[in-house]
Amino acid sequence: MNLEGIANAVVSVLAAAGTLVSVTSRTRRRRNEIKENLSLAEELQKNTILRDHTPAVAWLHAKIALDVAKLSGQPIGAPKKPIPKGSVVFATILFLGFGSWTYWLNRDGFAWSSLVTGAVSASVLISIFGMTTNREIPQDTDSDFPEGAQPIGTGSASEGIAASVAMAAMSTDGRYEDDGQIGVAVRFVRHMASEEFSEALCLADENWLMCRIQTWLWNARASFGGEEGQLEATANDMMNSRRDHELWEAFTADELSAWGNIDPDRLGGASRRRRVARDYDLVVLAPVGESGGYFVTSPTPVPGGLTFLMHNSNGNWLVANHIGVAPPAPGFPPTWWVVGDPSLEELPD
């Protein structure tokens, strides 16, 4: 009786059975986790704070989608380079050849000449590992995105699923529609960048326009006179006359000059709604480059972002402030609620 053969057969059967049990157990655990996460997602939907002010629900739905993809055998993860099968086969032949040669040289005891063949065999084995492992294709890190941001459509299946779920979750409240908070802000920027000042004014509060006129007159008070009563009368005349006023063209040209370098096609709206008061929302537009957008999984500073305070007036969203977080207060100079306003820095205590 060949006891060694029987033992090897038993070990092989047990190893196969263990592998099968491990796979089955992992599948069962993933199924149970999906069911639990679905129940948790329903509970999160009932929590208005987490649902409306954080992306927690979108994150959980993205995880569920990824787990279902893994359960169904879909390829998930970073794209990988294909294994060069021909090179692997050739390297394997060399490894076996030089490995056998090394064994033959040492069949009667250690031989110094076997160090050469052994080194070649080890080098070829390392090359085989190099060709079959760590094949992930690195993503392009040369971008203007803030640290921690993941561009949408990077080629990674997991990031693509997470991004699609997040985009679906954030597009259901109407803020991205043309008449929504973000849509109006983008249209306003587009008109200003295209030197369509009259069209932009249709998307702005009357108070915003009055404060812009007052700011312009205050900054040029050396030409118009610094007496506040005179400046106020001129501002009222400009508000009433608009294009017919002799100063309107100069005022318009100065206002549009600050928007000429902005490309509205490269801006995207931040997904989280930011309510600052009744009928007032804060909208952040950030540069997204050529990717079509990006998403973040933690608080992230947004360089180059534009901040707009949007006012819901009679059912229509209008721009109330383009730099501050509160409606500007008229006056000479007007208050824009922004730190470092040079007009305010010049005022006496």
pLDDT exceeds cutoff 90 at 250? yes
SS3 279: coil
In contact, 285 and 308? CB cutoff 8 Å: yes
- Name, of 25-34, 157-166, 243-252, 292-301, the range with top average pLDDT: 243-252
- pTM value is 0.58
How would residue 69 be classed by pLDDT, with cut points 50, 70 and 90?
A: confident
Two tokens at 41? 């997602």
pLDDT exceeds cutoff 60 at 252? yes
- Count of positions (residues) in the chain: 349
Ramachandran area for residue 341 (φ above 0: left; ψ -120 to 50: alpha; else beta)? beta
pLDDT at 142: 47
The domain limits of the chain are: 3-79+152-170, 88-132, 181-345
pLDDT at 78: 59
For residues 224 and 217, what is the distance between their CA atoms, to the nearest angstrom? 7
